[in-house]
Homo-oligomer: A and B are copies of this chain.
Amino acid sequence: MYGDGLFETIAVRDGRPCLWSEHMARLQAGARRLAIPCPPRARLYGECVAVAAGCQHGVVKLVLTRGAGGRGYAPPQSPEPTRILVAYSWPVHPPEWADGGVEAILCRTALGEQPRLAGIKHLNRLEQVLARAEWEDPQIAEGILCDGRGRVIGGTMSNLFLVAGGRLLTPRIDRCGVAGTVRTLVLARAETFGLEPIEADLRLEDLAQAEGAFFTNALIGAWPLRALGPLRFDLARLPSALITGIRRLAHHPTPEELA
């Protein structure tokens, strides 16, 4: 009734979830923030693998809600969380997006600031639904969202990174935005790509002046940004190993012994 829960959208390869550790870390952080008891990781891993059975290349969406309760906003005294796991086929995108880059628009919808909910992947996603409804053109891959003060926060379904002067910049997500699993991974590994990772308040000027930019999420891995409205980016200026390296890290199945 109230979007009172969390979700994870998990890439599956060879019947196994990718980025399992990052997904579980975020789910557990969200559950703590919302005071929803989180089922044990091993149980969720088993359920994910069961739902993904026989899937070479797909998606499992895991939803965790506070469970059944009364009519009002008061949470139940002893919540029994509900788990919903659904398998989906792998989303099909134009093949040139992965290496040739994507076109994005700047959304008019501005994100509200709510530090209590920022970073976690909760189910109150009307802002994203409104933003995604701003375009229908299938050539547009993503929409970029700012907060009400003009700070760039990310895509409707992805995080955004800028490369500038040996630095890898990404928006802070402590007032709005989501701590993407690939975002976490890229920040942790930035130095192996020869880049200094920095979380910062970024504006559209920073994006316009960057050498390059890319979107990340668990399904796309990384998509270079080719065009944002009239703004064009020269993909040759993005470190060539970066995008393919991120994709390789993001789409590596997690074996049971590491789950």
Contact = CB atoms under 8 A, between A and B. Distances in A.
Interface of A: 1-4, 7, 9, 34-35, 59, 61, 63, 66, 71-75, 88, 91, 109-114, 116-117, 122-133, 148, 156-157, 176
Nearest to A135: B74
A59 B71 contact: yes
Given A72-B157, A133-B74, A126 B124 contact: yes
B63 A1 contact: yes
Nearest to A113: B112
Contact of A35 (B75, B112, B116, B133): B133
A173 to B, nearest CB: 14
A73 B114 contact: no
A126 B117 contact: yes
A107 to B, nearest CB: 11
A32 B207 CA distance: 34
Given A73-B156, A124-B124, A2 B114 contact: no
A162 B124 CA distance: 31
Nearest to A109: B116
Given A3-B126, A124-B125, A71 B75 contact: no
A148 B34 contact: no
A75 B133 contact: yes
How many identical chains are in the complex?
A: 2
A-B residue pairs, 6 tightest by C-beta = A3-B3, A112-B114, A2-B125, A124-B124, A73-B132, A112-B112
Contacts of A133: 35, 74-75
B129 A4 contact: yes
A3 to B, nearest CB: 3
Contacts of A116: 109-110, 127, 130
A7 B73 CA distance: 13
Residue from the set A7, A9, A63, A126 with the largest chain B CB neighbour count within 10 Å:
A126
B7 A125 contact: no
A123 B1 contact: yes
Contacts of A73: 125, 128-129, 131-132, 156-157
A9 B71 contact: yes
Nearest to A128: B73
A161 B129 CA distance: 33
A29 B45 CA distance: 43
A116 B130 CA distance: 9
Contacts of A61: 71
